[in-house]
A and B are shown apart, each in its own frame.
Chain A
């Protein structure tokens, strides 16, 4: 797998953002089913039914969300640098940038962007091939 591509994709460590979405969904599900009458608390039926403050989960979610946005921002810049130096093709730069922009359009966009970059990373890592054709650098003799 191309090292730069791996690096580029790793910078989009948006898994945190997905976790944030999951926590938000968990909160809505538990409230919707009447499992969580007090909006300040969510209750897990794990390890002796401990009660955890929703605000704590929100803070944790915000940390992951912030990390997701920050990763997306750095990844966006790295994509620009790779395009500038000719390490990636124009097509790859365009597609990566578009998903990078989508990543800034709220939690749903961040989820879509995460799916793309994690999928790309997975594909390139497990198949050993790059998703896009890499430009050939000309070496002078």
Chain B
């Protein structure tokens, strides 16, 4: 669990510094980082949800209103509890090539997994 939280914080750290160093975003870096991390986490959750739906035919979210509500709740949690306090800045992370590769691989896998689950669901609709 601690290891998973550390990995999650490293992901936040890399996204945060992507906006600071490359995009030169100095006004709302915490806010934008929270949005990006929420999108990634949401797609992971949605992929798992889609997998369960296809496997057990249990439908929990049928309306877009609930979907957006869940998204906003995850965003608020990420922003207030995890990103804004800036714990990830105190964890002595370094920007390594291995870390960059890991983050890119995670983003790529998240996209691929979501597309696979979505395509399965589309073919069943």
Kindly supply a per-residue 1/0 record for chain B positions 23-55, scoring 1 wherever the CB is within 8 Å of any chain A CB and 0 otherwise. Answer: 111011001100110110011001000100000
| Given A69-B31, A77-B42, A80-B43, A85:B67 Cβ within 8 A | no
Beyond A65-B28, A73-B39, A77-B39, whether A84 also contacts B68 by CB under 8 A is no
Residues of A within 8 A of B (CB-CB), count:
24
- Is A34 located at the chain interface by the 8 A CB criterion? no
Q: Does A36 count as interface, using CB distance less than 8 angstroms?
A: no
Picked from B38, B75, B122, the residue with its CB within 8 Å of the CB of A86 is: B122
Interface string of A32-52 (1 = CB under 8 A from B): 000000000000000000000
Is B92 located at the chain interface by the 8 A CB criterion?
Answer: no
Size of B's binding interface in residues, CB under 8 A: 27
A105 in contact (CB, < 8 A): yes
Judge if B2 is at the interface, Cβ distance under 8 Å: no
The yes or no answer to A54 lying at the interface (CB within 8 A) is no
Pairwise interchain contact B39-A69, C-beta atoms closer than 8 A: no
The 10 A-B pairs with the shortest beta carbon distances in the complex, nearest first, are A73-B35, A84-B118, A86-B122, A86-B125, A106-B23, A62-B27, A77-B71, A69-B32, A83-B118, A69-B35
8 extra interface residue pairs, beta carbon distance < 8 Å, beyond A66-B31, A104-B32:
A62-B27, A70-B35, A72-B35, A73-B38, A81-B67, A83-B122, A84-B122, A85-B122
